Amino acid sequence: MVIVENLKIDGIPLLHIVREKEKNDALPFVLFVHGFTSAKENNLHYAYLLAEKGIRVVLPEALYHGERSENLSQNALNAQFWVIVLNEISELETIKNAFSQKGLIDETRIGAAGTSMGGVVTLGALTQYSWIKAGVSLMGSPYYADFLKMQIEYLRNEGQVIPISDKELDDQLNRLEPYDLSIHREKLANRPLLFWHGEKDNVVPFEPTYRFYEEIKRDYDSNPEDLAFIRDPGADHKVSREGLLSLVAWFEKHL
């Protein structure tokens, strides 16, 4: 039987999903991050299928979301996007360490994944943590700096007041640079990585992410089976069942 526990680690709300008979064992471990304006509970179907494969799963609640909501306006929440992303990357290590200290993780079999913003978090986390052994990005982007510039351009085109000055924008770009996998692709170190992206995505553009995949393919010449991109010609910003099942199969194979 798969069980779900609602826990807090250092004030971070999370769901812990695992087969009851394996609750106290050192297991493969997956951190799965939800999307922008979503919540941890919305990804329970991923966690359940992974847990059925003998994987321990944690669904953390991102800052200003779900239980951590502060009822910000949409514009105020939008302005905090990159604060949320960088905070989430930091908190992944906090969560991982807490489970590790209890002997609940097989340290050689740790994965990270997420949808949309969670995919962005996953790709950034790969620049920071060598303990992540495999990743899956569903509708994410590795282009931190370019994605921020795109967000600013969108707001300008919509006639909205840009919430930060040019200097603050430069400072933000500098803060994002260490996490930008498109700049630091050597940090991948040939680790298994799966992308899923809908070609009609109007939130996180498909083309830049696919271009990044094409650019890093040569880095995987010696282990091409560890890199994959599933493109869905009919999908927009919503993961298909194929994407869900492909994620489960990826971690089953690579963890």
The three-class DSSP label of residue 134 is strand
Residue 177 identity: E
CATH of the domain at 6: 3.40.50.1820
User: What is the model's pLDDT at position 135?
Assistant: 98
- Per DSSP, the residues of 164-232 read S-HHHHHHHHHHHGGG-TTT-GGGGTT--EEEEEETT-SSS-HHHHHHHHHHHGGGGTT-GGGEEEEEE
The Cβ of residue 136 has, within 10 Å, a number of other Cβ atoms equal to 29
Which residues, 6 or more positions from 132, have their beta carbon under 8 angstroms from its beta carbon? 110, 111, 112, 125, 126, 191
Domain residues for 43? Answer: 2-254
Whole-angstrom distance, CA of residue 52 vs CA of residue 117 = 25
Tens digits of pLDDT across the chain (255 residues): 999 999 999 999 999 999 999 999 999 999 999 999 999 999 999 999 999 999 999 999 999 999 999 999 988 898 899 999 999 999 999 999 999 999 999 999 999 999 999 999 999 999 999 999 999 999 999 999 999 888 887 777 766 666 677 788 888 899 999 999 999 999 999 999 999 999 999 999 999 999 999 999 999 999 999 999 999 999 999 999 999 999 999 999 999
Q: For the chain, what is the domain count?
A: 1
pTM over 0.75: yes
CB 185 within 8 Å of CB 216:
yes
The DSSP code for 244 is: H
pLDDT of residue 211: 97
Considering only CA atoms, which of 62, 69, 78 is closest in space to residue 158? 78
Which residue is listed with tokens 């996490």? 179
